[in-house]
Amino acid sequence: MGVVLVHEEFSAHETWPLGCARCGHLWQEEYLVRHLTDGHGHDVVLWLRSGVMVQPPWSGASCPACGHDGVRAFPPSAHPRVTAAPPPVAFPTVSPVTSSGTGLGLTPVPATEPGLSAAKPRPRRRVSQPALLYALLAIAFVLFTSFEVFEYVVTHH
């Protein structure tokens, strides 16, 4: 096997959001993605982290929090909890008296008051496939037995 010469077309820095399916941990990893073309015209994509070639973010990632290998990679800027939220908007409140002492006035209030923190969203728990299978079997059993009981009551009365 000989050496294949490749020509670099372009490189790009990409940040990929990743999420764990078990614990709900979210984090981001930065990659240098090099797009190359070999001597035969085939496209080659190299993923680098700190100058070391690694697998793409959608294969072989493990959660740094729990070690689970069921990690999902989202395309850059596609995950809603990782992207930046717009700044909070200040809503005016009505005060009975203006600063001059007469009439109704509007006083702006900060969007977040000191001492109050936004509720942290809880990660969604996923139901395992065996639990869903057992639930489906239980529903089928209940339906079957209810039809049998109904048929017995109708024929004997």
Answer positive or negative: Cα dihedral of 25, 28, 31, 37.
positive
Q: Which of 51, 67, 84 is the last residue of a domain?
A: 84
Q: Name the strand (E) or helix (H) holding 139.
A: helix 129-156
pTM as predicted: 0.43
- 93 occurs within a structural domain: no
Q: Which two tokens stand for residue 82?
A: 């990782």
69 and 1 assigned to the same domain: yes
63 and 130 assigned to the same domain: no
> For residue 67, what are the domain limits?
1-84
Answer positive or negative: Cα dihedral of 54, 59, 65, 67.
negative
pLDDT one-digit tens code per residue, 43-96: 888 889 888 998 888 887 889 899 888 888 887 655 545 445 455 555 555 555
- 21 occurs within a structural domain: yes
Q: Which two tokens stand for residue 119?
A: 């509720």
Q: Which of 11-20, 83-92, 144-153 has the lowest mean pLDDT?
A: 83-92
68 and 139 assigned to the same domain: no
Residue 9 has pLDDT above 60, yes or no: yes
Q: Which of 55, 84, 113 is the last residue of a domain?
A: 84
By the 8 A CB rule, do 47 and 53 touch? yes
Residue predicted with more confidence, 2 or 65: 65
> Beta strand 71-73 with 92-95: parallel, antiparallel or unpaired?
unpaired
| Number of domains present in the structure of the chain | 2
145 and 77 assigned to the same domain: no
Q: For residue 57, how far is the Cα from the chain centroid?
A: 14
7 and 79 assigned to the same domain: yes
